[in-house]
Structure 1
């Protein structure tokens, strides 16, 4: 008989995610009485998706481990996790964990019986709404404290803030006339990344995010984790609080961009974005990597920077995100509890290990996982 495992708090999780009491029934948060229904959310301009990840360890050993990123509970105004459920037949352990000092949460599952099924099915119901900041509005938001912003000014293993990163950040500001305004400084970095980098289709997954290597080698090509990771590092080196946002596309773009959306099978639709903090305005979304994606993929043969579609994407993606995408976390150097291997530089893909070592997250055919998105309309 299969054993169903329910969400169980780790000691460092402040509040449990909702759990499912029976197959097909969605659990609700503790504040469910006050929470709007799906119909209410749809009427308010939100869209709702069920995102399901299915993993099966075909290499069954006595030490099978799986770690799945979970969507962030709430990003005010543009993302809400409504419910979570999972099944892990044959597992010894299944628990939700949070990374200390970060906003990264994950589902950890451990298998010890090679004869038992080693399968996980995780579904989250997530509501999103397009995000945009009026950069011309009068700043009136309550400022965040230095302690709240501190994590977003720190170096990481992939993105140091000294050496070539610092030198490049200073040169960008110098070339821009050393603007004093935070938004103007961020815009200068955004423009520089778009104009000096290149999306490289042959790069596996979303890239490695190794900013130091990119600048030291002079090879400014890659994908979103590289290009947006570079933007974040340059912003932090300039003194601007900035963060990567790791997630996955869940629907097609309503703006007509074929390259900026994915629905149905989203196994390979992971995407990293970025945002920065400006006092009085709060967190402001950006996505220079998607501008480069439009240039490379929107049309056969590519598009020039001057093409109207590229110019429109460039204007839109400084200050706005189309939320046909969900955010998992802003984490870096994420430890995987129970693993003997180094932390993950970032957590955007399912992670897995057996006694033979860590599985290749960028090869879902061999690792054997699939992610699907289904739009909820009622």
Structure 2
């Protein structure tokens, strides 16, 4: 008989631990294997309620609440209703930029200004069919607007140089958009410490090499790079409403409390497909915040479906307010422009409120999906 050689105890323990670890590793991998494939489906109806309560008035108080302004193939605005103790309350718009607001004014005699806005909208998923193409028509004025610089989005200098380097060899507008999307995902990162959604100061980001930011920074970099090489693009400013249907915690909102749920997306106009959904910022958010570990590889099994899906599709769990840059608030005492409008705004005799501090402003936002 051939003698049997027993391994020592250390080897047995190591082999046993390795065998025991296999199911754990497999389980973790399975847990991170997800899909992210938004498809155009039925419309969903939502009711969004924004409530403002100012505890103590200081002179005249003015409030501006963003109102859904876009009518598209992925969103329909149904109606808006408001109540409160304002002396003046009216829907106003910025014709040059297309942003709408509910403007309310409270005289100094109103000691506790209160305002509530209820907006009803319908949304649905977006998804481009890359296998089909056709020559798409768009209003030339709309395309020209989507190629213009903004105060924090210049299109020359380092912006154009970066875009030209990133798109070297790209022949079509779709090739350029894909190259720039990949460049942002590969070179930028989500920085959780940035307040709110960031400011979108892309020139400073590129000049300093600090490409950390949030959605209004990261998608602005993508939009600016696209515009600088002749691909019409725009930021869309909005609000997450409900959880993602695909299980990604960071890609949804808590409808009972949408404090901090503001989110900017992006889209580009491609000659063979029209306006196409994009969101490299959310790819970077999943990489940085979906798990305790900062995932650095976009090919990671948790990230790859999102990186693929957000080049051409969106999930309809989100509300679009507007695509406006350099917004001027009507009747505001402070005449400076806002880089974008997706947060409630307010001011009184002491100055402008901090829109990124809803607990002291004070405002709340909630959403309810209407299924009847």
Q: Same fold (TM over 0.5)?
A: yes
| 1:73–1:244 distance in 2 versus 1, CA, 3 Å | closer
1:202 aligned to 2:193? yes
Partner of residue 106, structure 1: 101
The answer as to whether partners of 2:153 and 2:224 remain within 8 angstroms in 1 is yes
Displacement of 1:146: 2.5
SS at match of 1:124: strand
The answer as to whether partners of 2:125 and 2:315 remain within 8 angstroms in 1 is yes
Q: Report the Cα distance in structure 1 between the residues aligned to 2:110 and 2:249, rounded to whole angstroms.
A: 44
Q: Report the Cα distance in structure 2 between the residues aligned to 1:327 and 1:115, rounded to whole angstroms.
A: 32
Q: Report the Cα distance in structure 1 between the residues aligned to 2:322 and 2:167, rounded to whole angstroms.
A: 29
Partner of residue 353, structure 1: 347
User: Which of 325, 329, 338 does residue 322 from structure 2 map onto?
Assistant: 329
Q: Report the Cα distance in structure 1 between the residues aligned to 2:333 and 2:120, rounded to whole angstroms.
A: 32
Partner of residue 47, structure 2: 50
Displacement of 1:208: 1.0
Q: Report the Cα distance in structure 2 between the residues aligned to 1:207 and 1:145, rounded to whole angstroms.
A: 31
SS at match of 1:285: strand
1:318 aligned to 2:318? no
Partner of residue 126, structure 1: 121
User: Alignment RMSD, CA only?
Assistant: 1.2
Q: Structure with the greater relative contact order (CA < 8 A, sep ≥ 6): 1 or 2?
A: 2
Deviates more, 1:197-206 or 1:299-308: 299-308
SS at match of 1:295: helix
1:299 aligned to 2:291? yes
Q: After TM superposition, list the pairs within 5 Å mapping 1:7-46 onto structure 2.
A: 45-46=42-43
Displacement of 1:97: 0.9
The answer as to whether partners of 1:61 and 1:114 remain within 8 angstroms in 2 is no
Q: After TM superposition, list the pairs within 5 Å mapping 1:154-233 onto structure 2.
A: 154-174=148-168, 177=169, 179-233=170-224
Q: Report the Cα distance in structure 1 between the residues aligned to 2:112 and 2:308, rounded to whole angstroms.
A: 49
SS at match of 1:294: helix
Q: Report the Cα distance in structure 1 between the residues aligned to 2:139 and 2:246, rounded to whole angstroms.
A: 36
The answer as to whether partners of 2:56 and 2:112 remain within 8 angstroms in 1 is no
Displacement of 1:217: 1.1
SS at match of 1:335: coil
The answer as to whether partners of 1:72 and 1:80 remain within 8 angstroms in 2 is no
Displacement of 1:145: 3.6
- Greater C-alpha radius of gyration: 2
SS at match of 1:339: coil
CA displacement, residues 271-290 of structure 1 (integer Å, 9 cap, x when unaligned): 00000101131100100000
Partner of residue 226, structure 2: 235
The answer as to whether partners of 2:215 and 2:263 remain within 8 angstroms in 1 is yes
Partner of residue 143, structure 2: 149
User: Which of 68, 71, 76 does residue 71 from structure 1 map onto?
Assistant: 68
Q: Report the Cα distance in structure 2 between the residues aligned to 1:327 and 1:360, rounded to whole angstroms.
A: 22
TM-score, structure 2 normalization:
0.86
Q: Report the Cα distance in structure 2 between the residues aligned to 1:48 and 1:281, rounded to whole angstroms.
A: 27
Q: Report the Cα distance in structure 1 between the residues aligned to 2:324 and 2:223, rounded to whole angstroms.
A: 13
TM-score, structure 1 normalization:
0.85
Aligned length: 329
Q: Report the Cα distance in structure 1 between the residues aligned to 2:210 and 2:112, rounded to whole angstroms.
A: 44
